[in-house]
Amino acid sequence: MIISGCPAHATGRPAGRPAAEIRLRRPGPRTPSWPGPSSLLSGCLACADSSNRPSAPFGPRFSRTRPRMHTLNIGILAHVDAGKTSLTERLLFDHGAIDRLGSVDTGDTRTDDGAIERQRGITIRSAVASFTVGDTRINLIDTPGHSDFVAEVERALEVLDGAVLLLSAVEGVQAQTRVLMRTLRRLRLPTLIFVNKIDRAGARHEGLLADVRRRLTPHVAPLTEVTGIGTTGAGVTALPEDSRLAEALAEVDQDILAAVVDGPQPTPDDLRTSLAARTADGSFHPVFFGSALGGQGVAHLVQGVTRLIPAGPATPEGEPRGTVFAVRPGPGGERTAYLRLYDGQVTERRRLTFLRREADGATSRVHGRVTRLSGPLTAGTIAALTFSSGLR
């Protein structure tokens, strides 16, 4: 569903533009504009420990300067029971967004707030939660893992800047994991892989990586390694940028391939630059190991998200345009829409027009006024808007 606050868009044809231009399309592959090559995966990433409360994500040597807070919209995807909601709880808790960890088993998680979700312990509708890391605000979209709710996942993918694909270190690659990965690769969406449950009996490391290369994509490389896998004392440390990473990147980066074959060998800065670019264009997928319940390795994943996934394009000026990816009914008959805004800004009492593509190809329009807003909604961000209209 497309949103527009412009009267010209509401009539279907902006002045001086063909009608087709009012329809939002997913931006093409992006390349990161930051940080510099010397600051991508060095410094404090190598020092990040497995404690539940990670230290500040950027050390002074690797600090970067931006004129303002920026936003990343990240989806968490996985097969059922891989630990998506537990990872969301861990991220929110570690960064101060909630004061205690919720549990899927006890039904008190932040994102599974429906009665059926709490009863069954699964996510049915895409849920949004946010936390801040330095000058980056991260909106997490916790998507359903069950194959019965794949339509919810597909709608959420349209508004993401990047994704974290979860695997269980015990169960490994599942049928739903393969479906999700095919979709992510088709969209060329920047995607990090997080192998969860390393502290569970039966967890695998090298065997699981081989399974990922064989069944998901060969273009992966681990950025962390595990000690004591399969035990409650499992730990995570960062891997150096060395020949193993160079060989993996050489498969998708011609400059790295030339350096590996003909010399001189690529420097760590060369590898960091290539890693950022190839992750951003969706051709390469870094792998992180950890445990959502224990907190091990989550700090490394967060730094990977902030350093390897670039923010999408946003135009603060002009009339608001965006995409609605989820609508929930309220007890009083109102509707709450989850919206990714690409242009402009939205305030309470703002009148908006929603354009919906029907099954027969026709476009229907629903007009509504914002009665409540969950937070500031400016270009590049996601927020929940409550309307007194017929949204569905």
- Above 50 in pLDDT, residue 18? no
285 plus 356 within the same structural domain? no
- In a domain? residue 81: yes
- Above 50 in pLDDT, residue 296? yes
Identify the domain boundary among 252, 287, 308: 308
CATH of the domain at 348: 2.40.30
Of 13-27, 236-250, 294-308, give the lowest mean pLDDT range: 13-27
- In a domain? residue 210: yes
Of 244-258, 284-298, 346-360, give the lowest mean pLDDT range: 346-360
pLDDT of the residue at 34: 40
Identify the domain boundary among 252, 275, 308: 308
Tokens linked to 255: 């400059």
β pairing state of 136-142 and 70-78? parallel
- Above 60 in pLDDT, residue 36? no
For range 237-243, the mean pLDDT = 92
pLDDT tens-digit series, residues 318-330: 888 888 888 877 7
Of 97-106, 119-128, 270-279, 303-312, give the lowest mean pLDDT range: 119-128
- In a domain? residue 110: yes
pLDDT of the residue at 57: 35
* H or E element in which residue 194 lies: strand 191-196
220 plus 351 within the same structural domain? no
Q: Read off the pLDDT band of 35 (50, 70, 90).
A: very low
Computed over every residue of the chain, the mean pLDDT equals: 77
CA angle (65 as vertex; 56, 58 as ends), nearest 5:
20
Number of domains making up the chain = 2
**Crossing angle between the packed helical segments 243-250 and 268-280, to the nearest 10 degrees:** 40
pTM of the model: 0.77
Of 109-118, 165-174, 222-231, give the lowest mean pLDDT range: 109-118
201 plus 339 within the same structural domain? no
CA distance 212 to 205: 11
pLDDT of the residue at 284: 98
| Three-class DSSP labels, 207-260 | HHHHHHHHHCCCCEEECEEEECCCCCCCEEEECCCCHHHHHHHHCCCHHHHHHH
Instruction: Please report, for residues 87, 164, 340, the alpha-carbon distance to residue 377 in angstroms, rounded to integers and kept in the order given.
Output: 25, 24, 9
Structural domain including 356 reads: 2-27+314-387
